[in-house]
């Protein structure tokens, strides 16, 4: 206990300037084991410290405390402490010991899930993510935990603010998988199918040496979402890892069959396929998506009609889309008009539907703004791309590899790689 | 001849058809053999899209033209192809009388040759329907077989002596004789092998050309059209100038090869380049009427209007061929002049006979569909709006059926139009370029952004993978 008291005194004393803090850091690292042994009794000491000033010390103590088991009554107290800590801690000090911070937050998340109140964990974790990130383009381990809590609490919109950031730096590939998978699921929940498709695509095509379960689940959802969105499943692009390319279809056979039946366009066959595989879809919790796939088949058939006809009777629409009667056809068309998927007017007197062109004329201010904004974004993106390319060209490893591969005896030609790098 | 024409004019009501029939050439007339039957055209024409597969068994009975005159047809050809064609007709036509006629003629032709296998086949197929004269004559077969054995031994002995002498020319001729022998026997594989072997011993261009022609002949019967194309190009590459007949023969062979491999445009070009000097010099493969038919149909199915005008209608050389088959000439002219109904009618009339042709029968469907689609597309091209009733009348079909065909063509983007199903009108629709461009631009932007982001992410992942290599466990 004494060592802890001494430690606490150190913390209080050495938390003013960056040099002191680094000194404190090394002291703390040395006394880690001591702290852990006293894990359960650290609670009162925490109250002596101020999280905003003594962040680092507080963090170490907190981490040691949470590494021990926390009993039921203490749990809510623990939660409150962590929440307060996250809200008031200083980001620079956190950066010195990120793993500790992550482990604190993870135990926080576990507690929240155990207690069954994921909603409580959302705001604190959001704050935690923002403090841990060095830039908004960085992916931390906490991202996936945060998204998991959002999913469990069904607060999809909360996940959006994190999801909308573009991620370019990844520390641990495993985080990336979970993040993209959960991100895809949140987007599906919000019905933003294009973004969901992009997220799931990232999982499926990520570089990997062996297949993992996340990838398999993601691929199942990927098939369903691309059927809803585009009516077909695209083939693997050539940058997919060979492990995924070869093995994914084996693990997702019912979904591949579903895609094949969808392509045939026959409603009854698709329904039959769904019936036979129903338990599998249920166990993967994908049944809802599968039902959406089914209804999208009608929509696709009706959309095709807009390309060929100017007016068409409801009876003909019902025949083409394999619906039972004109009333159902009318209902579907009405729904699609409301959702903005087709442009048409229904003439009930004659039982006719007239299809129109997309009224967008691309002449409004709003459209011009949209185009301008896109151009700006794309220019920034391509600047980033060229800077990455420049950096890579200067990389010594790259240069040595290129240097080795080229002809060594062409002295007449311009020497693109200096000999120094060979 | 007079009685023939009288028989014709009674059932036919169309004036145009009468003129055509009167101008008929020697290919399709002939003293009635008692097996020729006239089916009246009737007043109504069958729905042109009635699937012909079902009429296969009743060639000529589906409101089409007259039945083929087997004897006249067969007289166009010589050699093995005559027999093969007759057997094909016997197999495919549903008409017993015609079948027996074909088998009888095949039998007579085979007896002039040395192929006992074919002889057995023909006699089994005839059965005893034609009387004792056409039953299996085993003695004849045995005589021929024994003769063949002797000849084979003799040839082999001669050949061995040539080989020991090592004179190139005699070896070449030896191989040639053996190959000819096998060809007469019907052993086409062996014949092919031996013809190819002569290649190494050819000394002059004439030899090479002869070898190529032989190989081509055998390959056509074996239906190996890759070899046909190869050897045609070999023959065309000889340094010596080919005489026009040889040129025409090679063009025909090339055209046939393209036809069978479904390259209709190239086939049409080759047939159109064939000179009229071909005459009756290549009857062991193809008759000049066939050149006209194949060339005309392939051209119709694959050329656009300008090409059709320049290469077919204004082609003086090819018009010599078209004289031999006036229906094809008429139907091409009708198509160009947009008389689609009569054009399609000629096609239907020709169909039953064309289905009995060994090279064309499995391409008829595709060619006909192509021609019909081209006709429909050409019809709609000049109009802003077309009433479906008038169009259906022009194509002699129902409005509903026409609507279905148009829908298919619009979906394949061959017609730029939209159907007003309520009023049954087809409206031409030209895509708004400006809007389409904007849409495409925005779409490209979205895709670019998405792909670049994903790529940067992946690059980052790979960088981390390579830094923390195999110790990582996911």
Query: Angle B85-B89-B91 (CA atoms, 0-180°, nearest 5)?
Result: 115
Chain A within 8 Å of B448 (Cβ-Cβ)? yes
pLDDT reported for residue B92: 84
Assess contact for B388 and B417: CB atoms under 8 A: no
Among residues B15, B65, B89, B148, which one has the least CA distance to residue B346? B65
Chain A within 8 Å of B338 (Cβ-Cβ)? no
Query: Which residues of chain B have a CB within 8 Å of the CB of A350?
Result: 422
From the CA of A232, how many Å to the nearest CA of chain B? 17
Chain A within 8 Å of B6 (Cβ-Cβ)? no
pTM of the model as a whole: 0.67
Cα–Cα separations (whole angstroms), residue B65 to B14, B39, B40, B52: 12, 7, 8, 14
Question: How long, in residues, is chain B?
Answer: 474
Assess contact for B274 and B375: CB atoms under 8 A: no
Query: Which residues of chain B have a CB within 8 Å of the CB of A357?
Result: 432
Q: Which of B427, B448, B460 sits opposite A170 (nearest CB)?
A: B460
Q: Is the CA virtual torsion A227, A230, A233, A239 positive or negative?
A: negative
Query: Which residues of chain B have a CB within 8 Å of the CB of A342?
Result: none
Q: Which of A202, A304, A310 sits opposite B457 (nearest CB)?
A: A202
**Alpha-carbon radius of gyration of chain A:** 29
- ipTM of this complex: 0.81
pLDDT reported for residue B25: 40
From the CA of A130, how many Å to the nearest CA of chain B? 20
Query: Which residues of chain B have a CB within 8 Å of the CB of A374?
Result: 442, 445-446, 449
A–B interface: beta-carbon pairs under 8 A: 102
Query: Which residues of chain A have a CB within 8 Å of the CB of B434?
Result: 362
Chain A within 8 Å of B462 (Cβ-Cβ)? yes
Mutation pick from A136, A144, A173, A387 vs chain B, by most beta carbons of B within 10 Å, is A173
**Cβ contact, residue pair B418, A201, below 8 Å:** no
Query: Which residues of chain A have a CB within 8 Å of the CB of B442?
Result: 370-371, 374
**Cβ contact, residue pair A208, B474, below 8 Å:** yes
C-alpha span between B454 and A195 (Å, rounded) = 12
Residue A165 DSSP one-character state:
S
Place of tokens 């290599």: B469
**Cβ contact, residue pair A212, B458, below 8 Å:** no
- pLDDT per residue, tens digit, chain B (474 aa), is 444 444 444 444 444 444 444 433 434 333 444 333 333 333 333 344 433 333 333 333 333 345 678 888 888 888 888 888 888 888 888 788 888 888 888 888 888 888 888 888 888 888 777 777 777 788 888 888 898 899 999 988 988 888 888 888 888 888 888 898 888 888 888 889 888 888 888 888 888 888 888 889 889 888 888 888 988 888 888 877 778 888 888 888 899 999 999 999 999 999 988 888 887 888 888 888 888 999 999 999 999 888 888 888 888 888 888 888 898 999 999 999 888 888 988 888 888 888 888 888 889 999 999 999 999 998 988 888 899 999 988 888 888 888 888 988 888 888 888 888 888 889 888 777 888 888 899 999 999 988 888 888 888 888 777 665 544 444
C-alpha span between A120 and A111 (Å, rounded) = 11
From the CA of A25, how many Å to the nearest CA of chain B? 26
Q: List, for residues B284-312, the tens digit of each pLDDT value.
A: 888 888 889 999 999 999 998 888 888 88
Q: What phi, psi does B408 have (nearest 5°)?
A: -60, -45
**Cβ contact, residue pair A309, B438, below 8 Å:** no
**Cβ contact, residue pair A381, B452, below 8 Å:** yes
Query: Which residues of chain A have a CB within 8 Å of the CB of B435?
Result: 358, 360-362
Assess contact for B203 and B211: CB atoms under 8 A: no
Mutation pick from B438, B459, B460, B471 vs chain A, by most beta carbons of A within 10 Å, is B460
Q: Which of B418, B450, B456 sits opposite A388 (nearest CB)?
A: B456
**Cβ contact, residue pair B460, A382, below 8 Å:** no
Among residues B183, B196, B120, B193, which one has the least CA distance to residue B148? B183
Query: Which residues of chain A have a CB within 8 Å of the CB of B461?
Result: 170, 173, 176, 206-207
Q: Which of B407, B427, B454 sits opposite A310 (nearest CB)?
A: B427
Query: Which residues of chain B have a CB within 8 Å of the CB of A358?
Result: 435
Q: List, for residues B79-127, the tens digit of each pLDDT value.
A: 888 888 888 888 888 788 888 888 888 888 888 888 888 888 888 888 7
Nearest-by-CA chain A residue for B470: A209
Nearest-by-CA chain B residue for A358: B435
Distance, C-alpha B27 to centroid of its chain:
18
């Amino acid at each position: 206990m004494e060592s802890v008291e001494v430690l606490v005194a150190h913390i209080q004393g050495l938390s003013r300037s960056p040099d002191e803090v680094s000194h404190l850091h090394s002291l703390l690292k040395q006394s880690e084991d001591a702290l852990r042994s006293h894990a359960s009794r650290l609670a009162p000491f925490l109250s002596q410290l101020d999280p905003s000033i003594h962040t680092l010390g507080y963090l170490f103590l907190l981490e040691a405390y949470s590494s021990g088991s926390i009993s039921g009554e203490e749990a809510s107290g623990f939660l409150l402490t962590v929440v307060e800590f996250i809200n008031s801690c200083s980001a620079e000090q956190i950066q010195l010991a990120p793993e500790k911070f992550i482990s604190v937050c993870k135990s926080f998340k576990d507690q929240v899930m155990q207690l069954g109140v994921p909603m409580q964990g959302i705001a604190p974790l959001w704050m935690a993510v923002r403090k841990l990130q060095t830039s908004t383009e960085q992916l931390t381990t906490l991202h996936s935990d945060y998204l998991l809590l959002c999913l469990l609490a069904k607060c999809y919109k909360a996940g959006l603010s994190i999801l909308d950031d573009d991620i370019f730096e990844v520390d641990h590939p495993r985080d990336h998988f979970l993040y993209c998978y959960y991100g895809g699921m949140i987007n599906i929940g919000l019905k933003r199918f294009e973004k969901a498709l992009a997220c799931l695509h990232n999982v499926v095509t990520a570089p990997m040496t062996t297949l993992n379960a996340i990838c398999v689940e993601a691929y199942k959802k990927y098939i369903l979402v691309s059927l809803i969105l585009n009516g077909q499943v695209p083939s693997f692009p050539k940058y997919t890892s060979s492990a995924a390319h070869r093995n994914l279809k084996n693990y997702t056979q019912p979904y591949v069959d579903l895609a094949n039946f969808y392509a045939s366009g026959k409603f009854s066959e698709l329904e039959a396929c769904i019936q036979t595989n129903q338990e599998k879809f249920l166990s993967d919790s994908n049944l809802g998506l599968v039902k959406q796939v089914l209804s999208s088949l009608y929509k696709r058939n009706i959309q095709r009609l807009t390309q060929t006809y100017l007016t068409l009777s409801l009876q003909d629409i019902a025949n083409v889309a394999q619906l039972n009667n004109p009333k159902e056809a009318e209902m579907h068309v009405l729904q699609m008009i409301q959702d903005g998927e087709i442009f048409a007017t229904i003439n009930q007197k004659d039982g006719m539907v007239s299809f129109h062109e997309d009224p967008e004329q691309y002449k409004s201010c709003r459209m011009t703004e949209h185009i301008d904004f896109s151009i700006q974004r794309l220019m920034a993106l391509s600047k980033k791309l060229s800077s990455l390319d420049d950096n890579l060209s200067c990389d010594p490893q790259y240069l040595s590899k290129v240097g080795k591969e080229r002809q060594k005896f062409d002295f007449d030609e311009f020497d693109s790689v200096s000999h120094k790098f060979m | 001849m007079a009685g023939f024409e009288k028989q014709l004019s009674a059932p036919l009501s169309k004036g145009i058809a009468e003129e055509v029939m009167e101008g008929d050439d020697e290919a399709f007339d002939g003293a009635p053999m008692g097996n020729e039957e006239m089916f009246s055209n009737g007043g109504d024409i069958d729905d042109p899209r009635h699937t012909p597969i079902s009429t296969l068994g009743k060639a000529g009975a589906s409101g089409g033209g007259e039945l083929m005159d087997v004897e006249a047809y067969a007289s166009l050809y010589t050699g093995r192809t005559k027999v093969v064609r007759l057997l094909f007709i016997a197999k495919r036509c549903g008409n017993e009388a015609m079948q027996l006629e074909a088998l009888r003629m095949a039998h007579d032709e085979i007896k002039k040759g040395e192929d006992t296998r074919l002889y057995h086949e023909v006699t089994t197929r005839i059965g005893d329907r034609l009387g004792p004269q056409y039953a299996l004559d085993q003695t004849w077969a045995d005589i021929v077989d024994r003769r063949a054995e002797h000849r084979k031994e003799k040839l082999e002995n001669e050949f061995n002596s040539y080989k020991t002498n090592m004179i190139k020319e005699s070896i070449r001729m030896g191989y040639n004789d053996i190959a000819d022998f096998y060809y007469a026997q019907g052993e086409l594989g062996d014949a092919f092998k031996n013809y190819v072997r002569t290649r190494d011993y050819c000394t002059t261009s004439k030899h090479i050309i002869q070898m190529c022609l032989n190989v081509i002949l055998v390959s056509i019967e074996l239906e190996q059209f890759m070899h046909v194309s190869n050897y045609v190009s070999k023959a065309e590459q000889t340094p010596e100038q080919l005489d026009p007949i040889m040129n025409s023969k090679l063009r025909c062979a090339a055209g046939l090869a393209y036809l069978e491999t479904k390259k209709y445009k190239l086939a049409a070009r080759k047939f159109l380049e064939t000179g009229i000097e071909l005459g009756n010099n290549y009857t062991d493969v193809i008759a000049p009427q066939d050149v006209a038919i194949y060339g005309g149909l392939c051209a119709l199915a694959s050329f656009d209007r300008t090409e059709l005008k320049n290469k077919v209608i204004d082609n003086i050389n090819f018009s010599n061929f078209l004289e031999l088959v006036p229906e094809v000439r008429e139907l091409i002219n009708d198509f160009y002049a947009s008389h689609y109904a009569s054009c399609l009618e000629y096609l239907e009339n020709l169909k039953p006979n064309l289905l009995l042709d060994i090279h064309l029968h499995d391409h008829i469907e595709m060619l006909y569909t192509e021609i019909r689609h081209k006709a429909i597309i050409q019809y709609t091209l000049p109009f802003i709006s077309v009433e479906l009733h008038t169009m259906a009348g022009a194509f002699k079909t129902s409005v509903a059926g026409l609507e279905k065909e148009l829908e298919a063509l619009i979906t394949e983007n061959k017609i730029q139009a939209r159907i007003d199903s309520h009023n049954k009108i087809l409206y031409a629709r030209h895509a708004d370029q400006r809007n389409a461009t904007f849409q495409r631009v925005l779409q490209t932007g979205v895709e670019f952004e998405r792909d670049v982001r994903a790529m940067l992410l992946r690059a980052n992942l790979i960088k981390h993978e390579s830094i923390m290599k195999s110790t990582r466990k996911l």
